[in-house]
Structure 1
Amino acid sequence: MRLWNDRRLRLALTGLGAQFLLALLAVGAFAVNTGNNLLYLVFALMLGMLLVSGILSRRALQGLRLAALDEGNLFARVRGGLRLRLEDAPRGRVRGLELHLALDGGRVEPGFLGTGSAQGESTVVLHARAERRGWARLRRLELRTQFPFGFLEKSRILELDQPILVLPHPRTPPAAPAGWRGEGHRTQSRPGSSSPEGARPLRPGDAPGRMHWKRTAQRREPWVRTFEEERPLGVHLRLDVDAWTPGRAFERELERLSGAILQARLQKREVSLELHGPGGAREIRGHTPCWRALALAEATGRGLPADASPAGD
Structure 2
Amino acid sequence: MLAGPLRRSLKAMRLWNDRRLRLSLTGLGAQYLLALLAVGAFSVNTGNNLLYLVFSLMLGLFLVSGILSRRALQGLKVAGLEEGNLFARVRGGLRLRLEDGARGRARSRIRGLELHLVMDEAKVEPSFMGASSRSGETTVILQTRAERRGWARLRSLELRTRFPFGLLEKSRFIELDHSVLVLPHPRTPPAQPASWRGEGHRTVAQEGTSSPEGARPLRLGDTPARVHWKRTAQRSQPWVRTFEEERPLGLHLRLDLSAWGPGRPFERELERLSGAILQARLTKRDISLEIQGTEGTREIHGHAACWRALALAQAAGRGTGIGGEAPLS
| TM-fit CA distance, 1:180 | 3.0
Matches within 5 A, 1:50-89: 50-89=62-101
Q: Alpha-carbon deviations, 1:221-242, whole Å to 9, x = none?
A: xxxx9646x2322211111111
Matched, 1:199 2:209: yes
8 A Cα contact 2:93 2:144, kept in partner: yes
Deviation at 1:42, TM superposition (A): 1.6
Once the two structures are TM-superposed, the CA of residue 5 in structure 1 deviates from its matched residue by 3.3
Cross-structure match for 1:218: 225
> By how many angstroms is 1:132 displaced?
0.6
Q: Is the 8 A contact 1:185 1:235 kept in 2?
A: no
Q: Residue 191 of structure 2 aligns to a residue in which SS?
A: coil
Instruction: Give the conservation status (yes or no) of the 8 Å contact 2:256–2:321.
Output: no
Matches within 5 A, 1:77-156: 77-90=89-102, 91-156=107-172
**1:87-121 residue CA offsets vs partner (Å, 9 max, x unmatched):** 11232121110111100111111111100101110
Compute the TM-score of the two structures, normalised by the length of structure 1.
0.83
Aligned-residue sequence identity (percent) comes to 74
Q: Is 1:259 the counterpart of 2:275 in the alignment? A: yes
- State the match for 2:46 in structure 1: 34
CA contact (8 A) 1:183 1:235 kept: no
The within-5 A match list for 1:170-209 is 170-180=186-196, 186-188=202-204, 197-199=207-209
2:60 is the alignment partner of 1:48: yes
Match of 1:235 in 2: 251
Q: 2:262 aligns with which of 246, 250, 259?
A: 246
Whether the 8 Å contact between 1:3 and 1:11 is mirrored in structure 2 is no
1:183, distance to aligned residue in structure 2 (A): 8.1
Partner of 1:203: none
Distance in 1 separating the partners of 2:201 and 2:156: 44
Residue 270 of structure 1, aligned match among 286, 296, 300: 286
CA–CA distance in structure 1, aligned partners of residues 268 and 85 of structure 2: 19
Which digits, 9 at most, give the CA deviation of each residue in 1:215-266, with x for residues without a partner? 99839xxxxx9646x2322211111111111111111111011011111111
The equivalent of 2:321 in structure 1 is 310
Distance change >3 Å, CA 174–CA 273, structure 1 → 2: same
Return 5+ residue gaps in structure 2 as ranges.
Answer: 1-13, 213-221, 227-241, 324-329
With over 3 angstroms needed to count, the CA separation of the structure-2 counterparts of 1:163 and 1:96, relative to structure 1, is same
Local SS of the residue matching 1:67? strand
Q: In the TM superposition, what whole-angstrom CA distance separates every residue of 1:177-209 from its partner, at most 9, and x where no partner exists?
A: 223359876434xxxx6xx84317xxxxxxxxx
Preserved CA contact (<8 Å) 1:183 1:237: no
Partner of 2:317: helix, strand, or coil?
A: coil
1:4 aligns with 2:16: yes
Q: Tell me how far apart the structure 1 counterparts of residues 125 and 308 of structure 2 sit (CA, whole Å).
A: 24
TM-score after normalising by structure 2: 0.80
Which ranges in structure 1 are unaligned for 5 or more consecutive residues? 201-209, 220-224
Letter in 2 for 1:276: Q
The AA in structure 1 aligned to 2:52 is: Y
User: 1:32–1:285: structure 2 CA closer, same or farther, 3 Å change rule?
Assistant: same
Encode CA deviations 1:65-99: one digit per residue, 9 max, x unaligned.
Answer: 11001111111001111111111123212111011
In the TM superposition, residue 138 of structure 1 has moved relative to its aligned partner by: 0.2
Structure 2 residue matching 1:231: 3-state secondary structure: strand
Change (3 A) 1:131 1:18: same
Query: Once superposed, what is the RMSD of the aligned Cα atoms?
Result: 2.5
The number of equivalent residue pairs is 283
